[in-house]
Amino acid sequence: LTNFIQMHYSPGRIVLAGAGGIDHQQMKDLGEKYFTHLGRTDEPLLERDVSLKEPCRFTGGDVRIRDDLMPLCHVALAVETCGWKNADNIPLMIGNMAIGNWDRSMMGGKDLVSGLAVRFANQPAAHSFMSFNTNYSDTGLWGAYFIGEGPRMMEITDYVVREWIALCTKITDQEVERAKNILKANLRLQLDGTTPICEDIGRQMLAYGRRVPLEEFEYRIDNVNAAKVREVCTKYIYDRCPALAAIGPAVAVPDYASLRSEFYWLRL
């Protein structure tokens, strides 16, 4: 742990951000007071030496911890995507919004917008799902975390994969426009207050090397259509090797060979 902190908690990896009514000189003085002991570096942000000289290779596979005493089975399923700066990230974010999130406390049933939410709402054994899009500098993970009752996990997992393949083959302009509006709304909601604004500044400085204006994000989102979403999702999802992790009564979670074969189905 000490070695990890010494390697990664270095001046070249720290962003001191402020939002609201704060004086620049005051923030600078506070930074010098509390962080001077870390030393100085002339190396630009994002160009510090790291422990891994070569990029990591993503390899699909699965890890299962079977525990039949647990009431529910928890599964995370993901594919490798791209880094923050890659232009494909915006269509993937839109695809992520199209899949959405759902849990049993939500109303709507068959009238929900997300196709996966409709499938889950009409399956008594399905409890919840949450889609995610996690990015790093040169790679990313795009997937979903879902919970259900053990004996029906094969069917529930099939729901997830089928909706992913639908993104590659038949998502419509109307669905994309709805997902774009949700994404833009979420971007604005994340800036509600000085604390989330500071977090956003720090995250963007580490990811992009600059603060990206909200208008630029919205412009890039508006320039994506259904054809682009299908193209990008096909590139990263269709016929790709997923990574799966499951814990709980996982006996009915599909074996990896069967799961992998679903990623090149054309019938939905």
51 pLDDT higher than 60: no
When comparing pLDDT for 14 and 135, which is higher? Answer: 135
Asked if 194 contacts 20 with a C-beta cutoff of 8 angstroms, the reply is: yes
> In whole angstroms, what is the distance from residue 255 CA to residue 259 CA?
6
Least confidently predicted of 163-172, 207-216, 243-252: 207-216
CA angle 77/80/82 to nearest 5° reads 135
Confidence of residue 267 (pLDDT cuts 50, 70, 90): low
45 pLDDT higher than 60: no
Average pLDDT, the chain: 90
258 pLDDT higher than 80: yes
Average pLDDT over residues 173-191: 95
102 pLDDT higher than 60: yes
Query: Crossing angle, helix 89-99 and helix 153-169, to 10 degrees?
Result: 130
> In whole angstroms, what is the distance from residue 173 CA to residue 154 CA?
31
Q: Class for domain 61-262, per CATH?
A: alpha beta
When comparing pLDDT for 138 and 252, which is higher? Answer: 252
Whole-Å CA distances, 100 to 13, 48, 58, 73? 32, 36, 25, 20
- Return residue ranges of the chain for CATH 3.30.830.10: 61-262
> In whole angstroms, what is the distance from residue 247 CA to residue 72 CA?
9
32 pLDDT higher than 60: yes
Asked if 106 contacts 39 with a C-beta cutoff of 8 angstroms, the reply is: no
Provide, rounded to the nearest whole percent, the portion of the chain with pLDDT above 90.
Answer: 67
Residue 59: strand, helix, or coil: coil
59 pLDDT higher than 80: yes
> In whole angstroms, what is the distance from residue 200 CA to residue 187 CA?
10
pTM, rounded to two decimals: 0.88
